[in-house]
Chains A and B, each alone.
Chain A
Amino acid sequence: MTLSLTNTAKTYADGTRALRSTNLDVAQGEIISLLGPSGCGKSTLLRIIAGLETPDEGAKLLFNGEDFTQIPVEKRKVGMVFQSYALFPNMSVRGNIGYGLKMQKLSKTEINTRVDEVIELCRLEPYATRSITALSGGQRQRVALARAFAPRPRLLLLDEPLSALDAALRGQLRDELAQLLRSFGITAIFVTHDQDEAMAIADRVAVMSHGEITQIGTPEALYRAPKSEFVARFIGAAMPLGRHIQADTMYFETSTLKLPAPAAGKTAFVRAEDVRLDDNSPLRAKVMSVTFLGTHYRIALEGLAPDPVFALHSALSAPKVGDTVGVAIDPAAILMLPAEKKAA
């Protein structure tokens, strides 16, 4: 086990609990994503690992069995990519990338060799001598990554590394970042609020909510077997389904659906891609709205749950608003989750 956090919590001076007691184990070479809405404690956890925040008493941070809880940030040998990149405007691209090596008191030739190596790896050759202010957002992001990676850190930490970019560039750089991190072969933890980003880059995703890790697992596991309503809603936008469940039957306003197993007392969720329009199905719903999205229609349906349920409909035409349509849902695609107490 490379990195191991035990009982890590953070309470701010004003009493705000940013992070509840958290345990996390990260294996060598693994890429972990901390995913959650803003204010869920993901950045706080990352900053504690970096040494930029002090955890509450009782926390224990181990790296290969060695306790580094009390080691200050400059001695932790962690690379950090900041949301704003925090590149030094008084230095060139080379100067930024070489700064960490200079702090390790390496010789000039060693620094130059390593800087060249990293510049090539991150494909920054054309910009090496430029000043930071002459770079685009995407180039700055690569320089920030190169700078964090150059001193051969034990751990690479990335705080929302793509959120400062515009949407079009973000998709492209997401794949590039995933590929670069793999080629580095480094243990990395990155924070994001974007589930696509987390799924595309990480080996395992830790979903966080209200200062806690609610579930951690591979992207597939989180998507297919969420353990809580929050994870189901956050990953893949699952929607509650049905009025109520009795034994193995789910009741809707006008019809019922047989479930594979008794599920009384549980809450059912379904994703838009598992809701199909099928005229032969006895399950009926009323069309509330139709949105054309190019590859498919997104249709809001009334009558399947207290809230509208969306269906993704791939066809050349769509029903009209107000039509009553048949809906087919594969019972196996329905996620059965323990009912959560509604917040008052």
Chain B
Amino acid sequence: MFKSPAKLFQLAITLLACAFLLIPTLQSALAGVTVNYFRGVSSGLTFKWIIEVWALYSGSIFLSIGLALACLVCTLIIGVPAAYALARNPGRLSRMLEEFISLPLAIPGLALALALLQLYGGWREFRMSWTFILVGHVLYTLPFMVRSVMSVLAAIDLKTLEEGAASLGAPSHRRFLDIVVPNALPGILAGALTVVTLSIGEFNLTWMLHTPFLKTLPVGLADSYASMRLEIASAYTLIFFAMIVPLLLAMQWATARAQRIMS
């Protein structure tokens, strides 16, 4: 199998690339459970740092989860009907609207945050509340939900299905709930997981919008890197990993499912 030099070369490159990606990750994870990073693993392994991170930052973790779920609810309520409306009325105006919704993808989060601060910064109550960060997250994640749902809706003959339901006596809200939503479900699921993952990991925008009392998981991470000892920061990364990896796996599974429907 590895007789030819070309194959050997390929294998070496692949292994090198893997090492390049994995070693820092493993090292960081290891640092999170090492008693003293500067003395190495020989100093012993411990859960002390993880417990300490939990004590210091559990608020950030719950805030992030809460934000992600609230963001999901908002993108579902806004995004699914929006995707439906865009898919149902194709045309130049729809394409322009779709591009417009997608703008936050291209604009740096910092610029988006600045715009939000300029617009709403004067409303003290709003500015200080977690809903301010939520607005930023919804703006940033909405295009992912809309596009994911739209791609599934574009693959089914929505118009005829709805006409069928209408001829059977279904008014428009029943058609949406009975026909559109169930058939768009794979797209909605894929979009939902993307939204939650992105919201939990979002740093750029959140860093600009956060207050000392409202630190999300990534903002807390930056804070711990800047002000805590390295082991605590690493333990923090470990917790972050433990939360985000299952979400990423679920996202892959949901996207594969949605693509199966579309083919």
Q: Which residues of chain A have a CB within 8 Å of any CB of chain B?
A: 50-52, 72-80, 82, 84, 86-90, 99-100, 103-104, 147-148, 151, 157
Interchain CB contact (< 8 A) of A103 among B161, B174, B185: B174
Measured between beta carbons, the chain A residues less than 8 angstroms from B185 are 90
A88-B179, A90-B183, A103-B174 given as contacts; is B166 within 8 A of A73 (CB)? yes
How far is B163's CA from A77's CA once the two chains are assembled, in angstroms?
Answer: 13
Is there an interface contact between B161 and A147, defined as CB atoms closer than 8 Å?
no
Q: Which residue of B lies closest to A104 (CB)?
A: B169
Measured between beta carbons, the chain A residues less than 8 angstroms from B163 are 52, 73, 80, 82, 86
Q: Which residue of A lies closest to B162 (CB)?
A: A86
Interchain CB contact (< 8 A) of B168 among A72, A90, A99: A99
How far is B167's CA from A148's CA once the two chains are assembled, in angstroms?
Answer: 8
Measured between beta carbons, the chain A residues less than 8 angstroms from B179 are 88, 90
4 tightest A-B CB contacts, nearest first: A86-B164, A100-B168, A103-B169, A90-B182
What's the least CB distance linking A131 to chain B, in Å? 12
Residues B185-223 near A (CB distance < 8 A): 185
How far is B157's CA from A86's CA once the two chains are assembled, in angstroms?
Answer: 8
Number of A-B residue pairs with CB-CB distance less than 8 Å in the complex they form: 66
What's the least CB distance linking B259 to chain A, in Å? 16
Is there an interface contact between A50 and B167, defined as CB atoms closer than 8 Å?
yes
Measured between beta carbons, the chain A residues less than 8 angstroms from B178 are 88, 99
Is there an interface contact between A147 and B168, defined as CB atoms closer than 8 Å?
yes
Measured between beta carbons, the chain B residues less than 8 angstroms from A103 are 168-170, 174
How far is B178's CA from A157's CA once the two chains are assembled, in angstroms?
Answer: 23
Residues B151-184 near A (CB distance < 8 A): 156-157, 160-161, 163-171, 174, 178-179, 182-183
Q: Which residue of A lies closest to B157 (CB)?
A: A84
What's the least CB distance linking A159 to chain B, in Å? 10
Is there an interface contact between A73 and B167, defined as CB atoms closer than 8 Å?
yes
How far is B221's CA from A271's CA once the two chains are assembled, in angstroms?
Answer: 87
Q: Which residue of A lies closest to B171 (CB)?
A: A74
What are 28 pairs between A and B in contact, CB < 8 Å? A50-B167, A51-B167, A52-B163, A72-B166, A73-B166, A74-B169, A74-B170, A77-B169, A78-B167, A79-B167, A79-B168, A80-B163, A80-B164, A82-B164, A84-B160, A86-B157, A86-B160, A86-B161, A86-B163, A88-B179, A88-B183, A99-B178, A103-B169, A103-B174, A104-B169, A148-B167, A148-B168, A157-B167
Measured between beta carbons, the chain B residues less than 8 angstroms from A86 are 157, 160-161, 163-164
Q: Which residue of B lies closest to A103 (CB)?
A: B169
How far is B168's CA from A79's CA once the two chains are assembled, in angstroms?
Answer: 7
Interchain CB contact (< 8 A) of A89 among B165, B167, B183: B183
Q: Which residue of B lies closest to A76 (CB)?
A: B167
Q: Which residue of A lies closest to B172 (CB)?
A: A74
Is there an interface contact between B156 and A89, defined as CB atoms closer than 8 Å?
yes
Measured between beta carbons, the chain B residues less than 8 angstroms from A52 are 163, 166-167
